[in-house]
Structure 1
Amino acid sequence: MDSRRWLYLGSATTFAILQLFLVVVLSQETQKYNFGPFNDSMINRELYVIPMAWLNFGALQLSPDSVVDGTLRNKSGRVFINKPFKLWDDTRIASFNTSFLMNIYPVVNNTPGEGIAFIIGPSLSIPPLSYGQYLGLTNQLTDGNSSNQIVAVEFDTVKQDFDPDDNHVGLDINGVVSKVTVPLSKFGFKLAASNPRFYMVWVEYDGVKKEMEVYMAESQYHYHGPIVAEKPSKAVLSSHLDLKGLVNDMSYFGFSASTGNYFELNAIVRWNLSVEVLPNNNMSSARNDNYWWKTGVGVVVGAPLLALLITGVMPFLRRKIRESGSDPKLLSTLRRLPGTPSEFRFRELKIATNNFHDSNKLGQGGFGIVYRGTLPKEKLQMAVKKFSRDSIKGISDFLAELTIINRLRHKNLVRLLGWCHNKGTLLLVYEYMPNGSLDNHIFFEKGTTKTPLSWSLRYKILLDVAFALNYLHNEYDQKVVHRDLKASNIMLDSDFNARLGDFGLARTLDNEKTSYAEGVPAGTRGYIAPECLYTGKATCESDVYGFGAVLLEVVCGQRPWAKIGGHHFLVGWVWQLHGEGKILEAVDLRLGNDFVAEEAERILTLGLACSHPMAPVRPKMQTIIQIISGSVPVPQVPPFKPPFVWPAVDQGPTAATLECSPINTTFFAR
């Protein structure tokens, strides 16, 4: 924990205690709400969520962060506090203050669309169909109607004919043609930057002066909230605004957002709201006297209390700063990662895992140990991956995994919840998968209570993994090669839906590149494509080879490196049975006759096609999905396993000079 964070926590703690005292004294004058991290338990109880908005990754995802109905385009959503606030009466208008931490990130080619709005609305009713330029507020038919009774502060990322640019803040009244607009570039702000940024926003309304002011500051984000985000002295937008008559006297506070032809992630990570409570007319004088009496007490008692707190806290802060061993550059890198990963405290992860006790160990690999954990307060189950290497290489692996997976969004990928770095200890926190890994359901000791997976579940799981791999190769904005596809990295949720996990070896491919080179082949024996051993390069084709090994082991119930039928590897034995016309003899004997012969033959033959020694011959992931689904036939597979030839094609004079490390020739034996 770096010095800035200790200073932030100390000042925040001091201020929070003083604020708590003042809230107790003045509690009858304002209504206060504090949200974040967000979780599903808030739905209906505190928040009213209108699709396509939802709560995910500890944030309000105001527009979808995963594909809905085949697309992320032309979607919108709203989220409100589920109770109305009295904003005006015959005598006065209520003042209110709100602050929120927002994150906007364009996920395709850095082209944004469309924006976020803080909204005051008349009801919780589902809004008319709204998307694109209308920000989830109105549509072509309703825009500008006074009956909307909507006031909003928009943060717009697409330029329309009526907008000054594609990066501005505006004050909207009943429509998206803003009363006031201010370009944000002159303040150095870029809402939808290619390097995602967090912005702290303050919206302050003075009901006496009838003034609305909006302040902004770039912020960093961690588990406790924003840091380095003090409210600036100058507002980015200021406007006269008489809410009386513009909005319903009983109105709701919330947010809306939309996507259009292009789409972005629109997230609210933290949200605080304070609304003045309007007194009853017949009690206004007494309430006013009471207010000033309580304020006086607050100042008289609060000032010495604040001084006492500062005196006690500062020595503690200085000691913690001296003891801090975390790399501030690394922490800064982690806190600026794309998306919205939460920073967890090491202490709470230590408690959640019972001090990383062996009884909570879920698995162990080359990168570290995974523990089961539970946060008692949130009743949140998690899988905590503790990296075992504290070297530079360990940090590199940690950053590589976190950088990739925290931006991925797919129902068949294990979801990242957050991270922790504490004095050289690196941890990643994932969604907990109750049914563990696929490996544990295919291979287990005899005499246990486990039963072999049914054929229908095996088939469904393989299709799930194919969808996940196709997303990495073809649907994400960068190609991602997983490099470690195997049964132990395929996790199963409570309904046995497959989630591909462990992205410790995964790498993105730069534009127009087709491979990732590290010099040493990464992965697990039996899953590594033969060309990787010569080139040290990982490709989409080498991932397909690993998927072929998974297909065969799931159907056969045998490890890829199993010595069977005189062969050193499972693939050689299955290929022999294929050539003899007896491929169904490879099906797991534990299934008996409880499998669909046509489907089993299809998967086994596809497994051989994916395991072809020559990378260019292997099918692509789009085709693989169609084959598993039964919509296209399996490609022709030769009756005998073809030899591995390197180079695969004539590469000219350089091919003859390629240096290859010694390899055990039995690796490729049939």
Structure 2
Amino acid sequence: MPQKKITSAASVILREESSSTPAEHTGSAVTYYTTLSPLMSVMKLICFFLLGAVGALELVSSVDDQFVYSGFAGAGLTLDGSATVTPSGLLELTNGTLQLKGHAFHPAPLRFRELPNGTVRSFSASFVFGILSAYPDMSAHGIVFVVAPTTDFSTALASQYLGLVNVQNNGHESNRIFAVELDTLQQDEFRDINDNHVGVDINGLISLQSSNAGYYVTGGEKKERFENLTLISHQAMQVWIEYDAGSNRINVTLAPLGVAKPAKPLMSVTYNLSSVIASTAYVGFSSATGSFDSRHYVLGWSFRMSSTSAPAMDMAKLPTLPREIPKARSKVLQVVLPITSAAVVLALGTVIVLLLRRRRRYTELREDWEIEFGPHRFPFKDLHRATQGFNSKNLLGVGGFGRVYRGVLPDCNMDIAVKRVSHDSKQGVKEFIAEVVSLGRLQHRNLVRLLGYCRRKGELLLVYEYMPKGSLDKHLYLYGHQDDDKPTLNWAQRFHIIQGIASGLLYLHEEWEKVVVHRDIKASNVLLDDKMNGRLGDFGLARLYDHGTDPQSTHVVGTIGYIAPELGRTSKASPLTDVFAFGTFLLEVTCGRRPIFQDARGNQVMLVDWVLDHWRRDSLAHAVDTKLRGDYNVDEACLVLQLGLSCSHPFVNARPNMRQVMQYLSNEVPLPQLRSTKMSFQTLAMMQNDGFDSYIQSSYSSSRASFSTTSVIS
């Protein structure tokens, strides 16, 4: 029965009820109801029941179609990971713990389509957020507003993946994800425009469109101007997200909290979300941290279906962002001391504060045990001046462990590279610095020399030689070049770099006073000097132990695609785990492809599997980088590819050591022949490593190519 008719029926009953005699109304409740006829009583009960049912349906529909959170105390959100609601009502997605992810979703799924196969309805959302970082110019990734068919993101990764996707499923249509990212770290693999941008994402983290964070302001003379915003400014900001189903238009608007919604959106994108969003889906937030202490907060949130205008939040009820450093205030001078002496003390205090602020600019963290390492320690003042105050124009790059700046030491006019790494002074810093100093004594023409270190507050600064030609991967993959078909490295240069890195690794493994295991050999950690000589750098993960002793277990670290399979079982880094990564490096330099790449059909393929298949079909030369245009020594290239397969063998004992590698590269000893087997590379890795860690396993299971048989090395 339609609601209008039910209401009419109820009104009729109420009118009849009101027409009863006064005497009837003065009696008891029992007497009053007994005056109604049985039929009328039944009709009244039925009508009120139907009215209650319709009212309940309207209430559920209202709840399903929109919601408003002016603070999150008692909200009942679906939370996981590091996400929590603070006593003040803040939604805290991350709490400063490194390498973690957090998710928060509205507890009930929303109906985005009227019919199962219908189009996605219009919708709108608005939320207030804030990002706090331990450093004023660095943060650890950002926040993502997401519409997804599930709240289970257990397979997603932290760091640059923002707790949303992983290396295998990034960009897959099966994700059914629509997202708006507020990103504070630039990642080349996702084609980020900078480290302070807003992006519209579909099924992954490569944005359809992105823009520098900011908002448009209309001046008094109607002149439009753009005001930049810094996402990690420690200030609350508001975001509006609107989807118009009629025009398939997605609008994203950003403004500081307290500023009215700008008339012009920050971004406007046309995309039909009916091809992405499921009939019912969840709405919420995802965030993750990397190697820096950051916290991500949401203060309030509203959502409305079938409308491009989100409900208003009660701004007066929003919780406030926490203060990072509480400021203690003392009234001792005002209460205890006479007014006359207070003026003198205040003047002296001002002078002292100014002096302390001047000194604090260069304050270092120094302990008694560091005296023995004195010659290897740089004053922070020298590094600050050398890099012009760590000016962004001197920034060489951003990695997983910190930012690297170019500098010139004023006293000796020496070019240096300074890496700023965050650290916890309570966790093995003495042992770590002892290893830094030991590594500073390394002397080899194919190693980037580590000159020394400096400690200041919560960070460690490592000082290296400056390499003017940058990292090898930028030359292999032609970052920033307009003509992608023009090779920047010919074969002779590549082979010379390979021989140089092999020589440097032999020195680390066998020829120095201790055994040094680098643990992070890859193209981005190979730097080029002014003569294009390859030098292995970034010893931030290196470990040392005496010759003839057994390496100790440690955390599994490194880069996906370069990690030896036995590390998942033993957690012991050894020279042969370096050899495995060097094998991947050989294939990467020769083929001009990353260790895990995407083929023409969009499948994720492991480079070693791909080269193995070419070897099985006697077509190794076809695996060589096409950007060389056939201008290379075929014998040398095939030798390097076969040697790369040998070094990447899943069985430890089947790999050569670096002395043998040098002999093979110089043709002093012939390379052993390969033999075929029907067992795949991945199967061999699993056989000798039962219980393989899922994170490491992903680097092997990512290949989807259908190789019926592969080959291994005798």
The bucket for the TM-score relative to the shorter chain is 0.3 to 0.5
**Bigger Rg, which one:** 2
Normalising to structure 1: TM-score of the pair?
Answer: 0.47
Normalising to structure 2: TM-score of the pair?
Answer: 0.45
Higher relative contact order (CA 8 A, sep 6+): 1
